[in-house]
C-alpha cells in the first residue's frame, strides 16, 4: 500500500507502512493484526526512533520508542486470544523489512536530511490514523457481529491506543513544522 499524505516518497519511507488486511473471519483479522503490530514493534518504529535520535530530536525518538513498545503489547494481547494462530510475514511485510534494512544502512543520509524525520512522522501519522479510524474499529465491529465480545473488546483497546498514538504523532509533526 502506498500512502497519500506525502509530497514525495523520501528514501522509501512511505513503503514502510503495512496495513492489516480485513477478512470476514475474525481469526484471520487477528493474525493480520499480529503480523502488522509485530512489524511496527520490531522494525518500523525502532527505525523511526533512530532517525529522530540521529537527527537530534530525543523527544520524538522517545515517543517512537513508546509507540513501538505499545505496538508489541497489542500483538501480545491478540496473541493471548489466539495462541494457536500461525502468523507469518506476507510478501508486503517482507518488502517493508527489506526497505527498513536499506534505510538503516543509509541512516546518516536519512538523519541529516530534514525530510527524513518529517517523512517518518508523516508516515507514522497516516499509519496510526488508518489503524485508529478504520482498521481496528472495523475488526471490533465484525467480532461483535459474530458474537465474539472478548475479541471485540481487545480490538477496542487497540483502537484506543492507536488514537492516542495518532494524537502524539500529530503534535510532534506540528511542533517540527512550526520549528522549521
Question: What one-character-per-residue DSSP string does 74-122 give?
Answer: HHHHHHHH-TT------HHHHHHHHHHHHHHHTHHHHHHSHHHHHHHHH
DSSP state of 63: H
Query: Half-sphere exposure of residue 139, counting CA atoms within 13 Å on the CB side?
Result: 30
d(CA 174, CA 176): 5
| pLDDT at res. 3 | 35
User: Which residue from 167, 59, 44 is spatially nearest to 97, judged by alpha carbons?
Assistant: 44
d(CA 141, CA 151): 10
Question: What one-character-per-residue DSSP string does 39-54 give?
Answer: HIIIIIHHHHHHHHHH
List the grid coordinates of 100.
527498513
Give me the phi and psi of 119, to 5 degrees please. -70, -35
| pLDDT at res. 69 | 97
| pLDDT at res. 1 | 34
**Cα Rg, the chain, nearest whole Å:** 16
d(CA 127, CA 162): 9
d(CA 180, CA 163): 26
Q: Would you give per-residue pLDDT tens digits along the chain (180 residues)?
A: 333 434 445 555 555 555 666 778 888 888 888 888 888 898 889 999 999 998 999 999 999 999 999 999 999 999 998 888 777 877 877 887 887 787 777 777 777 777 889 988 988 998 899 899 998 999 999 999 999 999 999 999 999 999 999 999 999 999 999 987
d(CA 118, CA 8): 11
Report the top-level CATH class of 12-179.
mainly alpha
CB atoms within 10 A of CB 132: 20
Beta carbons of 45 and 86 less than 8 angstroms apart = no
Amino acid at each position: 500500500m502506498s500512502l497519500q499524505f506525502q509530497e514525495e516518497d523520501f528514501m522509501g519511507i512511505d513503503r514502510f507502512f503495512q496495513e492489516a488486511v480485513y477478512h470476514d473471519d475474525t481469526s484471520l483479522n487477528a493474525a493480520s493484526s499480529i503480523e502488522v503490530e509485530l512489524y511496527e514493534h520490531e522494525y518500523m518504529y525502532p527505525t523511526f526512533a533512530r532517525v529522530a535520535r540521529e537527527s537530534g530530536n530525543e523527544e520524538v525518538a522517545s515517543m517512537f520508542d513508546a509507540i513501538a513498545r505499545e505496538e508489541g503489547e497489542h500483538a501480545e494481547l491478540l496473541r493471548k486470544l489466539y495462541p494457536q494462530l500461525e502468523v507469518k510475514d506476507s510478501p508486503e511485510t517482507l518488502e517493508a523489512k527489506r526497505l527498513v534494512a536499506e534505510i538503516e544502512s543509509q541512516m546518516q543520509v536519512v538523519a541529516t536530511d530534514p525530510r527524513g524525520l518529517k517523512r517518518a512522522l508523516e508516515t507514522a501519522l497516516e499509519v496510526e490514523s488508518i489503524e485508529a479510524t478504520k482498521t481496528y474499529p472495523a475488526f471490533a465491529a465484525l467480532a461483535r457481529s459474530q458474537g465474539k465480545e472478548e475479541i471485540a473488546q481487545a480490538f477496542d483497546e487497540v483502537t484506543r491506543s492507536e488514537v492516542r498514538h495518532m494524537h502524539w504523532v500529530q503534535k510532534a509533526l506540528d511542533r517540527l513544522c512550526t520549528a522549521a
